Amino acid sequence: MSVFLPSPRPSHRRDALLQRVFEIIPGSLLWGTFLGLFVFSFFRPVWVAVFIIAYDLYWLIRVTYFSLFMWFAYRRVRVEWGTDWRRRCEKVSGEVSVYRREIELEMARMEREGAERRRRRSLRLHLQEIERIEADGTAVWDWTTIRHLVIFPTYREGIEILRTSLKALLKADYPDERMIVVLAFEEREGIPAYRKAQILRKEFGSSFGALLTTFHPDGIAGEARVKGANMAWAARQAREYLDQEKIAYDRVILSAFDADTCVDRQYFGCLTYNYIIHPQRTRRSYQPLPMYHNNIWDAPSFARVVANSTTFWHMVQSIRPDLLITFSSHAMSFKALVEVGYWPVDVISDDSVIFYSCYLYYGGKYETVPLYVPVSMDANLAESYWRTLINQYKQMRRWAWGIEKFPLMMRGFLVDRAIPLRKKVKHVFRMLEGNYSWASAPFVIPFFGILPLLVGGREFNQTVLAYNFHATTRSILSIAMVGVLLSVFLCHALLPPRPARYGRWRTVSMTLQWALVPFSYVFLVGLPAVDAQTRLLIGRYLTFWVTDKRRKQIDADALSPEPGTAAALTEVPEKREGVG
């Protein structure tokens, strides 16, 4: 594990007891609810009916909150897409007061000409930021001194997956010579890994500042077969390179990607800008918007629903940066990574656990900053419909296994004295409430919601409460369907252009797919979460599973993560040569 976050397999008896107690809590809350509703439906149906109505109201509040924040996030995305982040890096690295006056003049010109509201709002937000930098006297770093370290951990992914990800880096509007790319292979993959490394070094070896290939040995003491162990090994190898080149760690921004991650061409500019303007730049993680557009047109309908819903969830989270934690592809200062001891090597959810490692190490003075630029990954797609369904379930179960960090966080909070109690309570409540709702709502609302009417007996069914119970819950759920309608709109607004190999019917199916929400919500969202929390409850721990990545047709130009609607908003130039 990292130097500050406890290990999930403690050797001390007291720590082992605490770990086990905290592992039991989430699953106990879940199954206590299920069993309580079932038993009391027979003996106290009125209690259950009141609970169900209260739960439905709570769920309605959550859906309303989710829908509003999803809309706010989409508006913010529309504002920021099309921003020339590289130009902002160049300008803010100079004299800030001069740059502020330039923005003011540009604002006045746009007001006179009646420029589009979106562009004016983007510039207004930027002006406020520059004024804040000037007022605080923040020392903005020169963007040309920043290096980007990009790690792609890979295990059995096809070479075309990796090749496409590397090509996306080259298309980004950022100097290639300032990128240090690491392809992190697993030694246990054998000869195919070495062959892929040799081919990719030959193709891309001279394209970046450096292209490193690492091979993580199998069977290192204290490690599990998880992605974090591979990434930690690769980061240590990269550290040797940085030391050899005498590059300061705080001048290096690390992007931890999945093998299939394709960056937006403004990603590095946006990331660099947000890094150089903040005085506490090394105590922040940076989270782009995860989208699953690489093969979204090829994926089955249920996989598209889950992929889009995941994107919407993280859009909502971006509006609440005080509660935002890292997920999947993210970035952070290499200095912070070294100080906390790299990624954990014995947990599955390394992407979010690294946030809590930093949060504990810096005494709560660590945060995640949302980046309103996308990174695109693969939706689930296997060789058959049935295999895709199984893979989707396994992927959601692995994400739900993120509950494994709850006991680690609790043990860390118990020994920490620097983080204020209110912050600890907020994180504990958020994690418990979020995972409880994830696993319970798909079953409490549709199934346990009708149980009192079925088994409550004649006496209960003749009450006014029973008469109004079904109508009340149905009305609440009908109102909540507004969230589905908003999802349909945003799905089409964010889609990349339809490939030429598909006709208009495919676009229609992107709307009809949302009829699968009830099925997906129960079997591909709720059930995997129940599975994960039950495994943690009984101590049957999950092992890491690598999602099978497939595409029906590889077309690098068609894999742009810029959505169809937003693509029309992009007014920045293509990739510029030179160091700026």
pLDDT (tens digit per residue) in 273-304: 999 999 999 999 999 999 999 999 999 999 99
Question: What is the Cα Rg of the chain in Å?
Answer: 25
Residue type, 437: S
Q: What is the helix (H) or strand (E) element at residue 150, kind and residue range?
A: strand 147-154
Predicted local confidence at residue 554, as pLDDT: 53
Give the pLDDT score at 471. 77
User: How far apart are alpha carbons 348 and 404 in whole angstroms?
Assistant: 8
Alpha helices in 81-190 (DSSP H): 85-92, 96-113, 117-136, 159-171
- What is the amino acid identity at position 201? R
Q: What is the mean pLDDT of each run of 10 residues along the chain (580 residues)?
A: 69 92 98 96 91 90 90 92 94 95 94 89 94 95 98 96 97 97 97 97 97 97 94 98 98 97 96 97 97 94 94 91 90 97 93 95 95 95 93 96 96 93 94 96 90 83 78 76 85 91 92 91 96 97 85 55 40 60
Half-sphere exposure of 276 (CA within 13 A, CB side): 27
pLDDT of residue 574: 67
Displacement of CA 547 from its chain's centroid (Å): 16
Query: What single letter denotes the amino acid at residue 332?
Result: M
Sign of CA dihedral 512, 517, 520, 522: negative
Q: What's the burial of 71, exposed, middle or buried (CB within 10 Å: 0-12/13-18/19+)?
A: middle
Contact, 269 vs 89, CB < 8 A?
Answer: yes
Q: Which helix (H) or strand (E) holds 457?
A: helix 457-461
Residue 556 three-state SS: helix
Output the pLDDT for position 237.
98
Q: Which two tokens stand for residue 306?
A: 């889950």
143-389+556-567 CATH pick, 3.30.1320.10, 3.90.550.10, 3.90.180.10, 1.10.8.60: 3.90.550.10
Domain boundaries, the chain: 21-78+432-538, 95-136, 143-389+556-567
Tell me, what's the pLDDT at 475?
A: 78
Cα separation, 214 vs 234, in Å, equals: 6
CA neighbours within 13 Å on the CB side: how many for 142? 4
In one-letter notation, the amino acid at residue 467 is Y
**Under the phi-then-psi rule, with left for phi > 0, alpha for psi from -120 to 50, and beta for the rest, what region is 174?**
beta
| d(C-alpha 559, C-alpha 561), whole Å | 6
